[in-house]
A = this chain, B = another copy of it.
C-alpha cells in the first residue's frame, strides 16, 4: 500500500520532508526559517528531553532559566568567538507598535532602544554575566546548571529539525575550580550523550574531538557525538565543550581558592537540540515512513480493531480490556484506535507512517482462536500470539525492537564505514557516500583542501586511535591523527 511518500532511494531529501509532513511531526512557520513542532513531533521530543533531563539531574545538574535577550555589548565581549554562529541573529531595535494612518499598525519610531538587544543564539554570555555575580569563592563551585530553551540563529536555508532559525535545545554551562574537574565534566556529559543516543534513540554514534576548524570558537576543545544518516551523510548530534578560562576571562569571573589566591574559573558547556528528531527520522525511517525506537515512541503499541458496528466493537473490547489494564499498569504507552468510519487499512497506513513499533490487530478471527495478530514495524512482519501471553510478549518484543533498530543502524553504519589507502580511494568513497577513517597530518591546509575538493569534513578525531606508522591521506606526510571524514548535514 502506498504511503504517498517519495521513495528514500529516489530523493532522500524529499523523502525526509514527506515523512515529517505525513507523520505530522512538524510544519513550516509563517516567518521564513521558523518551524512549528506538531503534537506528535513534540511528544517524541518530550520523551527525548525527559531522558536527558533525568540523567543530567542524576549527575547533580540543576535546571535554571536565563533571559532570551542579550545586550549587544555582551557579544562584543566575545568578539573573538562571534565568528561562526553569532553574526546571523535576530536583533531587537524597537519596543512599541502603534496605529498607522490606514488603521493598521506600524513600529513606533520613538520606541527605538538605546542599545540594540540580541535574541540569544546561545546563552553563554548572559550566563557568564550572572556567574560573575554568583561566584566569589571555591565554596560556590562547582556550578552545574542546565537550561532547556529556545535559541535563534538566522537561517535562510531551512531544513525541518536540522536547520531552522529558532530551535529548542538544552545548554549546560558549568563552572569549576580546576581544569581537571571541568574536563571531567565535559567528558561525563559526552558519555550521557552517547548512552542516551545508543540506548534510547537507538542511534550508534562516534565519539571524539573536533578539529580546530570545526570546534566551537569559544572552546579549548570540542567533543562530539557523530551519527550516520540513512543517506550515509554525517550528522553532528551533540557537542560538549571544554571552555578553559575563556569565558571567565571575557566576563572577569574569578574565585578565591582554598589557599586564598584568586583564579579564573574553568568551564564547560554542552548541548543537544531538536535536531535529534531529524536524526531519528533519518537513521530509522524507511519507505513506509517513520520507525520509532520504543523508548521514545509516544505510542508504543497501537491496537486496531476490525469491527462493523458497536456490537462488534463491544465484543472486541470485552476480549482485550483485561489485557489493556495490565498493559497500562506495566507502563506501556498504548492506544486503542477505535475511530469509526475509518478502515483498518487506512489506520495501518497511518500508524506505520508514524512509526509505532508494534501494532495489534484484533477481530472475530482473533477472538475465535484466542489469539492476537501482531505487526512489528522494525521488520514489517506479522505474527500471531496467544492472548494469554500478550503482556510478556509485548515487553519482550518492544525490547527486541529497541535492540534491533540499533543493530540495523549499526550494521548500516559499519557497512558504510571505510578506511582508505590513497586519496583517489578516499575521494571515490566520499563520492559514493560513507565515513572514511584515515591518517591526517593535523594541518588546516590538508583539511581545507580535502573539503574544497570533496565537501568532506573531519567529523571527529576518535578517542580510540593509533596514528603511528600512518600517512596523511591528502599530503602523504606522517599522520598526526586518525580522523573520520564524511559529508555532513
Contacts and interface: CB of A to CB of B under 8 A. Distances in A.
Nearest to A130: B36
Contacts of A43: 62-63
A476 interface: no
Copies of this chain, tallied across the complex: 2
Contact of A65 (B36, B94, B107, B118): B36
A105 B93 contact: no
A165 B69 contact: yes
13 contacts: A34-B68, A36-B64, A39-B62, A42-B64, A46-B63, A65-B168, A68-B152, A69-B165, A72-B105, A79-B103, A91-B97, A91-B107, A149-B150
A116 B90 CA distance: 11
Contact of A97 (B67, B75, B96, B97): B75
Contacts of A72: 97, 105, 107
A42 B65 contact: yes
A38 B89 CA distance: 26
Contacts of A133: 27
A36 B97 CA distance: 26
Contacts of A91: 92-97, 107, 111
B90 A117 contact: yes
Contacts of A45: 65
A53 to B, nearest CB: 9
Interface in A104-128: 104-105, 107, 111, 116-119, 126
A426 interface: no
Contacts of A76: 104-105
A152 B39 CA distance: 23
Given A36-B64, A97-B89, A130 B27 contact: yes
Given A64-B37, A105-B72, A87 B92 contact: no
Given A42-B64, A69-B29, A96-B87, A104 B117 contact: no
B105 A95 contact: no
Interface residues of A, number: 65
Contacts of A65: 36-37, 42, 45, 168
Interface string A166-188: 10100000000000000000000
**Which among A35, A91, A166 has the highest number of chain B CB atoms within 10 Å?**
A91
Interface of A: 27, 29-31, 34-39, 42-43, 45-46, 62-72, 74-76, 79, 82, 86-99, 103-105, 107, 111, 116-119, 126, 129-130, 133, 145, 149-150, 152, 154, 165-166, 168
B107 A93 contact: yes
A68 B36 CA distance: 10
Contacts of A99: 79
A97 B116 CA distance: 11
A385 B64 CA distance: 36
Contact of A70 (B31, B67, B93, B118): B31
Given A91-B93, A104-B76, A126 B30 contact: yes
B75 A105 contact: yes
**Which among A65, A66, A119, A145 has the highest number of chain B CB atoms within 10 Å?**
A65
A54 to B, nearest CB: 12
B95 A31 contact: no
Nearest to A37: B65
